[in-house]
A and B are shown apart, each in its own frame.
Chain A
């Protein structure tokens, strides 16, 4: 029998116990973090940074399914993140009201977070299905344009809504019998998302921040394991084969249509969850804004995946952390007195632009030294396959 390749064949027996130990252990650590993080790290901006890193790991992991494993090129990941973010914000805020408002307690989070994330994942997944369908006919640049189109349309539909008129959604729907009334009701719903100013709950009291470290770190861990297992499953193998050669893959019975569309849906579901967690992040801001989901966000996601190594799960995680910390490092740099002084002299100085320079420099350097990214397609903790036993 063959030696085991990472994660694909492991000795059988006590499998269930191992699984319980794995997930139980991960979630336990997350649970401990939930109660101790506030005390251990008093600086809320550092906490925020850590939570952002965990969320960005999910962003990178989900994009890695399309851009890394399936070899498609999506530059519209922000659209799925935004869809997840807005859905989770709306659901959690309304659910919070329905539960009587008040404090966003840990206990209530076990109702609010799963429901919100489920809706976020579902809506994102459906969007993924529709964006994924063109991927059957389009390749490369053309597909990239479709994904970008999707994310920009999503963002602009929300950002350009005319706010001001305070009609309630219920009222609008009550007169939605005619096609015109229906369109009006839809537009009232979009308007209720707050346009450019952002959405902060039905009463503008802010999105309840239910997702503490337990949820953020716990889900990052669980979904990380899922991503790993997807890669080292028959499905992941078939997807990678499809990326290498579509005709040959079809010739051995791998239906390109099914695999491509599923990869888009799975990626979108992951992004929906990541976006939802970001929107409800306890250490985040209680508002979701369209500008968080602009092209820059998609580009950051691409940077994470390419930096870490397209197709590598651990690589994507490293990329997610790296990008998060770069953002933070520049923020810190920006608040130093030297930079502040410079800013007084040159008003248009924007250090956020520096981020692009750093990315560009790192990416260029990486492409020269390691064109396949930090890890390539390999994994950090991948067991080196033992030499295969001789076939009889």
Chain B
């Protein structure tokens, strides 16, 4: 089912976190949503999942308007997500974290759980089977009975994806799943994302700063900056889009380096022509206006720098396993 955002706007007081953003995520695609820090990517996820309600515009899953639905109802409608700042159920074991996500398609009522009827046991055992299977996919089966907080950072991220998959979602929103992962783990993640899409026939929306992952796995990319759309296209188009380069350049040399280095590796000049051919004029203008704003963002960039190094530090305590998709 397509996920469609039309002219979505969200203000936090005076701050326009998301402004007039429209895009359609085609069914069964792997869709990238990128942009510099504070661009509004996570806010878009929060709007889609109902954590916040948009001020203007509309969000539809297929034909269903998501505006009136509560977060739990949106989850039931088939949208699952992970969180940028990992949100696991700390006091629960690894497998319990997954089992919570089963509540929605459970047959046993509260009363039959208390009476411990046959339905209750059947429910529990089929849920556990499914949970263990998914844990196996993410190479976490051996940790099933451990407290979820005892997992390494990378494994916690994988556990979040596994938990989201328990919902049997139609759309999976991943918020920086590669954060804190090393090169090998990120490569594993790429394979896993593709494998999930192919196996479960779902749509994946990926927010990610790691260009290795974004460029490697996304079929289509939407770029935000300061809450607004600045570009849209295939990875090759985005890599060389002047507006995108300006947004990243103006803010964080780090991001640009990744973008550029990836782009360099793949015949930049030819692609550059393609990008400008597809989106003439308009992008050029935008790029120049962004240039002015870039200096204003200087302060923000340095503040984010600290965060970035904190993330790197976390990366060291990774689980050591790339955890590839298996069946």
Contacts and interface: CB of A to CB of B under 8 A. Distances in A.
B87 A245 contact: yes
A185 B253 CA distance: 78
Interface stretch (B10-18, B161-169, B277-285, B299-307): B161-169
B257 interface: no
Contacts of A240: 89, 91-92
B113 A237 contact: no
Interface residues of B, number: 58
A9 B72 contact: no
B114 A230 contact: yes
Nearest to A266: B110
B123 interface: yes
B88 interface: yes
A244 B89 contact: yes
A15 B118 contact: yes
A248 interface: yes
Given A233-B113, A391-B133, A247 B118 contact: no
A387 interface: yes
B114 A229 contact: yes
Contacts of B70: 250, 255, 257
B104 A237 contact: no
Interface in A254-312: 254-257, 262, 311
A251 B75 contact: yes
A257 B167 CA distance: 20
A1 interface: yes
8 contacts: A19-B116, A233-B110, A241-B89, A250-B75, A251-B71, A251-B164, A252-B100, A253-B104
Contact of A1 (B90, B103, B125): B125
A310 to B, nearest CB: 10
Given A1-B128, A15-B121, A245-B88, A385 B167 contact: no
A229 B117 CA distance: 12
Interface in A1-35: 1-3, 5, 8-10, 12, 15, 19
Nearest to A228: B114
Main secondary structure of the interface of B (DSSP, over half): helix
B245 interface: no
Interface residues on A, range: 35 or more
A250 B71 contact: yes
A248 B132 CA distance: 20
A25 to B, nearest CB: 16
B116 A15 contact: yes
Interface stretch (B23-31, B137-145, B210-218): B137-145
Contact of A234 (B49, B106, B132): B106
Given A8-B124, A12-B121, A254-B100, A249 B89 contact: yes
Contacts of A237: 92, 96, 99-100, 103
A238 interface: yes
Contacts of B123: 234
Contacts of A385: 145
Contacts of A234: 99, 102-103, 106, 108, 113, 123-124, 127
Given A234-B108, A252-B75, A2 B51 contact: no
Given A249-B100, A387-B145, A254 B72 contact: yes
Contacts of A15: 116-118, 121
Pick the most buried of A243, A247, A248, A388: most chain B CB atoms within 10 A of its CB. Answer: A248
Interface string A211-230: 00000000000000010011
A252 B97 CA distance: 10
B94 to A, nearest CB: 10
Contact of A251 (B49, B115, B122, B135): B49
